[in-house]
Amino acid sequence: MSEKVLRVGLLGFGTVGSSFAEVLAASQAKDIQLTRIFNRGVQRKKTHDKAQFVPANVAWTERVEDVLEAGDVDVVVELMGGLDPVEGWLRAALNSGKSVVTANKQLIAYRGAALFALAAEKGVHLLYGAAVAGGVPVIPGVAQGLSGDQIKRVSGIVNGTCNFILSSMEAGADYGEVLKTAQGLGYAEANPSADVDGFDARAKLCILSRLALRAEIDPDTVPAQTISTVSAIDFAYAKELGCTIRQVSRAQKDGDKVTARVGPMLVPMTSPIAWSHGTQNMVVTSGRFGGDVVFSGHGAGGHPTAVAVMSDVLAVAHDSSPVRLPARKVAVSGDVMAPYYIRLVVMDKPGIIAAIAGALAKFGVNIDSILQKRGYGTERLPFVVTTEPCLTSTMEQAVAEMASLDSMVEPPMWMQILVVDDPATD
């Protein structure tokens, strides 16, 4: 009997799409065949250096319908990103009986539940292993390997661009310069907001919450804090506190809701999250029975992501059935009980410490420590206050109070301090 061939239609021949063509060619898989590629400006794409990995008989097209309606396509691989018009394209593919493999984290975060239901109705696959952490197999690892546990919390680094920026700053680089480097390397877009302001990580956290916590949460309700306000002085103070700074995504079951947040946090050097550098991603799941499980690896770049895409295509080719556990819609709270780091830049004059202590005391926040480095002028004096645990909402009020002080040169910068031994709730 001849081996059945899975025929692939590819949407997008950019960084990941072209890398997928290379990975597929290198696999020499006889049961998987690339038949069609959709992209705008195909003549230009055909001159791409990775076009050499595309078989000569593949049909290139600038009409997406030529892939979605093709009789020689069994699975549509979508690597273009965005919500519209991509959602409509993938609905058309699923409705026509084609399986879908996607790396589109925004689509899965915002529209995933409806698309999963449609795929189940049509009896086809919808796989998205590349949507979180690039080549790190966290999606299949949680879905298959940890489905027997009751995961109470998921946390970690899920944006390789921010990790590249912050770990470079830890080594002494300037934020603006390292951002330009990240853009030059293709890690960050010309408009880096999705990465540095936390929107990309927020979508990925929602996908992980659905899978690990079985909680369907609206990405727009998850607070996201930018890393763009982090400066070199913050790393110097973090080091004094035995910490570093990373963009951390964290969601935890909290009764009938989920507490979730994305943003820069002080991470103790004893935490595995602090050990992740460059474009590495790291996800830590905390289970009731299995304890902490760590997934780590490269989360940005064409090749790592293409590996995850290829793995999903192989799963479709072999008709692998993923474990599907029901998720329910839950409310999100961004109000986290934690200690906080506050960096203030002030004009040095008598009574400043008392005024800041008074602003914190007004809202019931206790000071844990005060740090001040020597060598700064009186016109722009930076110093740091760390607090005992309080709610995020309380910290926001206290910071607003401090920002109104006439001695303040710039708005206070504040971050959550990650508590390593914080047990997951039952």
Instruction: Supply the residues annotated as catalytic.
Output: 204
Interatomic CA distance for residues 250 and 209, integer angstroms: 9
DSSP one-letter string for 195-227: HHTSHHHHHHHHHHIIIII-EE--GGGS-B--S
∠ CA 232-419-371, rounded to 5°: 40
**Which sign, positive or negative, has the C-alpha torsion 185, 191, 196, 202?**
negative
CA dihedral 114, 116, 121, 124 (to 10 degrees): 140
Return the residue matching tokens 């479709």: 316
For residues 33 and 74, give the distance between their C-alpha atoms in angstroms, rounded to a whole number: 10
d(Cα 414, Cα 263) in Å, to the nearest integer? 10
Q: If you ran DSSP here, which 8-state letter would residue 344 be given? A: E
> Can you give the length of the chain in residues?
426
Amino acid type, 148: G
Q: How far is CA 267 from CA 104, 309, 379, 415, in A?
A: 29, 31, 30, 10
What is the per-residue DSSP string for 128-183? -GGGSSTTSTHHHIIIIISTTS-EEEEEEE--HHHHHHHHHHHTT--HHHHHHHHH
Nearest alpha-carbon partner for 262 in 305, 206, 217: 206
Instruction: Give yes or no for a contact between 371 and 240, defined as CB atoms under 8 angstroms apart.
Output: yes
Whole-number Cα distances in Å, 356 to 229, 264, 370, 380, 388: 20, 23, 11, 16, 15
The residues, ordered by sequence, that sit 6+ positions from 418 with a Cβ below 8 Å of its Cβ are 248, 250, 265, 266, 267, 268, 271, 273, 338
Those residues whose C-beta lies under 8 Å from the C-beta of residue 44, and which sit 6 or more positions away, are none
